[in-house]
């Protein structure tokens, strides 16, 4: 069974968020951090990183699990409202990094293969397409702000706390 890794990339990103040093930081929620993805090939790609370094969803206590899924859904809705995609892909895989995190990919009919998962259609490292779609704090500041504003609206309208 895969366990949480010593040199964990998600723990590193969570620490950057806490230190105010993550270039894609969108918002801190009760159970995790929303950050813009390193690649913006799928414009608006956002991650929701669990504060708890668990490997699998079922390892979270029920109330925390429900809260985590609720907050991930709020982040997904904010991304949807910000970029108005054709479809959203929300994925929790963790094959490489064994610390729960959600990938939220806005999908468009103009994607290289709109019917397939994003994996396999990402630009290859070292190409100009890869470089031009990397997270750029200056170019992406407005996008980050738009997602944050949408998230704030959604969270104001939503019931809070695990009991709700």
C-beta of 80 vs 99, nearer to Zn ion = 99
Residues near Zn ion (CB under 5 A): 8, 10-11, 53, 99
3-state secondary structure of 159: coil
Cα(33)–Cα(90) distance, integer angstroms: 15
Dihedral pair phi/psi, residue 106, rounded to 5° = -70, 130
Dihedral pair phi/psi, residue 4, rounded to 5° = -65, 135
C-beta of 49 vs 144, nearer to Zn ion = 49
> Could you tell me if 35 and 13 are in contact, meaning their C-beta atoms sit under 8 angstroms apart?
yes
Least Å distance, CB 6 to Zn ion, is: 9
C-beta of 13 vs 80, nearer to Zn ion = 13
Which residue's CB atom is positioned nearest to Zn ion? 8
Least Å distance, CB 107 to Zn ion, is: 27
Least Å distance, CB 71 to Zn ion, is: 18
Dihedral pair phi/psi, residue 142, rounded to 5° = -70, -40
Least Å distance, CB 15 to Zn ion, is: 10
Q: Please measure the distance between the N-terminal and C-terminal CA atoms of the chain and give it in whole angstroms.
A: 34
**How many CA atoms are closer than 13 Å to the CA of 17, on its beta-carbon side?**
22
C-beta of 10 vs 83, nearer to Zn ion = 10
Least Å distance, CB 13 to Zn ion, is: 9
Cα(49)–Cα(87) distance, integer angstroms: 21
Nearest by Cα to 77 from 142, 149, 133 = 149
C-beta of 11 vs 57, nearer to Zn ion = 11
């Amino acid at each position: 069974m895969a366990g949480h890794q010593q040199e964990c990339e998600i723990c590193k990103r969570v620490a950057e968020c806490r230190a105010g040093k993550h270039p894609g930081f969108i918002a801190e929620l009760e159970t995790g951090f929303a950050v813009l993805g390193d690649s913006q090939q799928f414009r608006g790609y956002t991650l929701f990183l669990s504060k708890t370094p668990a490997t699998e969803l079922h390892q979270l206590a029920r109330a925390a699990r429900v809260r985590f899924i609720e907050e991930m859904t709020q982040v997904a809705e904010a991304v949807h409202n910000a970029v108005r995609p054709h479809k959203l892909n929300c994925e929790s895989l963790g094959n490489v990094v064994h610390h729960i995190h959600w990938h939220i990919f806005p999908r468009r009919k103009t994607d290289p293969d709109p019917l397939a998962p994003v994996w396999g259609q990402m630009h290859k490292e070292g190409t100009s397409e890869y470089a031009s779609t990397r997270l750029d704090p200056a170019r992406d500041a407005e996008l980050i702000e738009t997602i944050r504003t949408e998230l704030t609206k959604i969270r104001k309208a939503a019931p809070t706390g695990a009991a709700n």
